[in-house]
C-alpha cells in the first residue's frame, strides 16, 4: 500500500479497497471497519508463510540426509594438485586436470596417463590409459561417488562399492584422504616407471 500526503490512499493489494478518499473526520470515524480490514489482510498474509512451511521443513530434512553430495568446487579442493598414494603406486591430480599414475603391479610396472574430472553430483572420475611392457589399454573410466554424512565426507567406488570414511571434518588417521599429499610428490617414481615401460629392452 502506498500512502500519499493528503487524504488519498492508492492500493496495490487485493485485500485493500481500490481507492479511498476521506476527509479527516470521516477517516477517523471509519476506523472501525479499517481495523477489521487490516485484521483480515493480516490473516491472509500469515496464511502464505504457513502454507509454505512444509516445503521449508522438507528442505531442512533433505539437507540432514546423508546422501547430500559435495559440490564440484568442494571436490576440486580435495583432489587438485595432490598425490593419492596407493599400496603399489600413486596418482597425481594436476591443476590442469591431467592425471598421471604408476603402479609396480604384480607382473610388471605400468603407467597410466589421462585426465580427471568432478561433477556437481559428487563424483570424481579418472580416465586413464594404462601401458606396460606387455600390454596397453584404451582410456578406462573409474568413478568414485562422495556424500556428506554428519559433516564428514564418505566415498565409494562406483557403481556399487561400500561407503567408507574419506575425510572427517577433523582429520582422522583412518581417513582415506590421509593418503593424499599436497603436490606431485611421486613424480620421480612416475618418470622412472615410464622410462622402464617405454624402454625397448
The total number of residues written for the chain in this structure: 201
- The answer on 145 and 53 residing in a single domain is no
Query: What mean pLDDT comes out for the span 78-84?
Result: 96
Taking the C-alpha atoms of residue 143 and residue 157, their distance in angstroms, rounded to an integer, is 6
Q: Based on the structure, what is the number of domains in the chain?
A: 2
- The answer on 14 and 53 residing in a single domain is yes
Domain end: 64, 90, 115, which one? 64
- The answer on 94 and 191 residing in a single domain is yes
- The answer on 107 and 28 residing in a single domain is no
Q: Quick check: 190 and 93 in contact, CB under 8 A?
A: no
pLDDT at 201: 61
Judged against a pLDDT cut of 60, whether residue 114 lies above it is answered with yes
- The answer on 25 and 54 residing in a single domain is yes
- The answer on 43 and 85 residing in a single domain is no
Q: Tens digit of pLDDT for each residue in 34-53?
A: 444 444 444 444 444 444 44
- The answer on 57 and 80 residing in a single domain is no
Judged against a pLDDT cut of 90, whether residue 57 lies above it is answered with no
Phi-psi region of 97 (alpha: psi -120 to 50; beta: other; left: phi over 0): left
- The answer on 83 and 39 residing in a single domain is no
- Average the pLDDT over each of 7-16, 63-72, 73-82, 190-199 and give the range with the smallest value: 7-16
Instruction: Report if pTM > 0.85.
Output: no
- The answer on 192 and 107 residing in a single domain is yes
Query: What mean pLDDT comes out for the span 85-90?
Result: 93
What range defines the domain where residue 146 resides?
72-198
Residues with Cβ < 8 Å from 154, sequence gap 6 or more? 66, 146, 147, 148, 163, 164, 165, 166
Query: What mean pLDDT comes out for the span 64-93?
Result: 89
- The answer on 98 and 160 residing in a single domain is yes
- The answer on 112 and 17 residing in a single domain is no
Q: How many CB atoms lie within 10 A of CB 185?
A: 14
Percent above pLDDT 90 for the chain: 54
Domain end: 48, 64, 80, which one? 64
- The answer on 59 and 83 residing in a single domain is no
pLDDT band at 55 (very low <50, low <70, confident <90, very high): very low
Domain end: 64, 81, 109, which one? 64
- Average the pLDDT over each of 3-12, 93-102, 154-163, 172-181 and give the range with the smallest value: 3-12
Q: Tens digit of pLDDT for each residue in 187-199?
A: 999 999 999 898 8
Amino acid at each position: 500500500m502506498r500512502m500519499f500526503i493528503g487524504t488519498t490512499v492508492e492500493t496495490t493489494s487485493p485485500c485493500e479497497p481500490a481507492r479511498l478518499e476521506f476527509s479527516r473526520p470521516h477517516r477517523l470515524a471509519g476506523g472501525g471497519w479499517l481495523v477489521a480490514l487490516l485484521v483480515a489482510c493480516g490473516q491472509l498474509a500469515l496464511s502464505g508463510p504457513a502454507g509454505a512451511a512444509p516445503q521449508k521443513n522438507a528442505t531442512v530434512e533433505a539437507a540432514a540426509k546423508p546422501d547430500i553430495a559435495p559440490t564440484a568446487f568442494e571436490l576440486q579442493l580435495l583432489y587438485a594438485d595432490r598425490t593419492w598414494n596407493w599400496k603399489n603406486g600413486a596418482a597425481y591430480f594436476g591443476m590442469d586436470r591431467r592425471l598421471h599414475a604408476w603402479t609396480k603391479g604384480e607382473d610388471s610396472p605400468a603407467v597410466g596417463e589421462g585426465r580427471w574430472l568432478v561433477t556437481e553430483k559428487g563424483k570424481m572420475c579418472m580416465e586413464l590409459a594404462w601401458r606396460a611392457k606387455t600390454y596397453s589399454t584404451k582410456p578406462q573410466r573409474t568413478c568414485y561417488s562422495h556424500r556428506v554424512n554428519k559433516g564428514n565426507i564418505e566415498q565409494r567406488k562406483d557403481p556399487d562399492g561400500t561407503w567408507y570414511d574419506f575425510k572427517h571434518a577433523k582429520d582422522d588417521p583412518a581417513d582415506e584422504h590421509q593418503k593424499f599429499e599436497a603436490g606431485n610428490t611421486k613424480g620421480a617414481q612416475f618418470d622412472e616407471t615410464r622410462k622402464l615401460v617405454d624402454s625397448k629392452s
